[in-house]
Structure 1
C-alpha cells in the first residue's frame, strides 16, 4: 500500500513537471497530451486516472506555479524586520517571479484564459493575495497604515501587480522597467503611511 501511494505521487509529480514544460514553451493550446505522457514515461490511462482532462492537468500545474510564487514572496518579505520593507520586498518578489519564463505564460496568459477569470482569481486569493492581505492587516493593526479598507487595498494592489507583471513580461530586458515600477510602488506606499 505504501509503495502504491509513493508510485502515485511519483507519477503525478512526473506528469506535472513534464506538462509544465510543455505549457510553458508551447502554451496550453499547442501542448499535446500524447507528447506529455510519452515524455513522462506513463500511459494515457495513467494520466486519466489522475487527471480527468487536459484542463485539470493544467490547473494542477498553475496551482504549483502559484504556490511557488507565494513561497518566493514569503521568503523575500521575511528578509526584513521592517513592515514596509516586507511589503515592498514581497511586491518585488511577486513581479520578478511572475515574469520568469517558466511562470509568465502559465500564470499570466493561459491561466485566466483556460480556467476563467473567477477560478484564476480564487487561486490567487489562496496564494499571493492572501499573503498581501495578511501583511496589510498586520500593518493596519500595528498602526502603520492610514484607516483604509484592507479588502479594497488588497484587491487594488494585487490587480496593479498582476497588470504590471503582464506589462513587464513584454520586455526582453525588464530589469530597468522593474526598478521604475518599484519606484512607483514606493511612492504609493508613502501615501498609505499613517503618521506615527
Structure 2
C-alpha cells in the first residue's frame, strides 16, 4: 500500500514539474517570443534542471506544442461554458463566437495560437490541435445548426475551416487594436446569413 502511495506521489511530482515548465515557457514565450527564448532560461524560470525539462519535453518545439495545446483547450472550455444555455443552435454559434473572441484577449494568447503556433508547429500540427479544441467546438455547433435546419446544409469541413479562419482573422485584428464590437457584429451577420432561404 505504501509503495502505491509513493508511486502516486512520484506521478504527482512529475505532473507538477511538467505544469511548471509549461507555465514558465508560456510566460517567456509571451514576454520575449518563442524565437528569443532558450531552454536553459525556461528551466531556470520553472526552477528545474535542464535534465528535468528534457525528461518531459524532447525540445523547445515540443514545449511550445504543450503550451499551445493548453491554451487551445482553455479557449474551447470558455466557448462551451458560454453556450450551454443558448436558446437555439444559431444563437449558440453566435455566443460561442463571442466567447472565442473574448477568450483570445488573454495576454499573449493570439500570438501563441495564431502566429507562433502555426509558424513553429506547421499548419498540420496546428490543425491537429484545433481539431481537438476550437475547431471541434465550431464544427459541433455548425453540425447542430444544420441538423436543426437553422443554417443551410453546406459541406461541414469547408464551412468549419472558412468560418474558423474568419474568427481567427477577427482575433488578430482585435489584438492589433481594431474595434471588437465591429468584428462581433460582422461575424454574427455571417452566421445569420447562413440561414436557409424562406
User: Which TM-score tier does this pair reach, normalised by the shorter chain?
Assistant: over 0.9
CA contact (8 A) 1:129 1:154 kept: yes
Alignment: residue pair count: 192
| Counterpart position of 2:110 | 104
CA contact (8 A) 1:66 1:107 kept: yes
Q: Distance in 2 between matches of 1:65 and 1:79?
A: 24
Corresponding position: 1:18 with 2:24 = yes
Task: Quote how far apart the aligned CAs of 1:100 are.
Answer: 2.3
| Counterpart position of 1:191 | 193
Which residue among 41, 46, 50 is the counterpart of 2:52? 46
Corresponding position: 1:28 with 2:34 = yes
Q: Distance in 2 between matches of 1:112 and 1:3?
A: 36
CA contact (8 A) 1:98 1:108 kept: no
RMSD between aligned residues:
1.5
Instruction: Flag as ranges the 4+ runs of structure 1 deviating above 4 A.
Output: none
Corresponding position: 1:135 with 2:123 = no
Task: Quote how far apart the aligned CAs of 1:195 are.
Answer: 5.3
Q: Distance in 2 between matches of 1:68 and 1:101?
A: 13
Task: Quote how far apart the aligned CAs of 1:189 are.
Answer: 2.3
SS in 1 for 2:108: helix
CA contact (8 A) 2:167 2:187 kept: no
- TM-score, with length taken from structure 1: 0.92
Which residue among 63, 85, 88 is the counterpart of 2:91? 85
Task: Quote how far apart the aligned CAs of 1:122 are.
Answer: 1.8
SS in 2 for 1:78: coil
Task: Quote how far apart the aligned CAs of 1:194 are.
Answer: 2.5
Q: Distance in 2 between matches of 1:69 and 1:189?
A: 20
Deviations 1:155-188 (A, max 9, x none): 11001111221222111xx5xx211112112222
SS in 1 for 2:68: helix
| Counterpart position of 1:115 | 121
Structure 1: gaps of 5 or more residues: none
Q: Distance in 2 between matches of 1:57 and 1:147?
A: 39
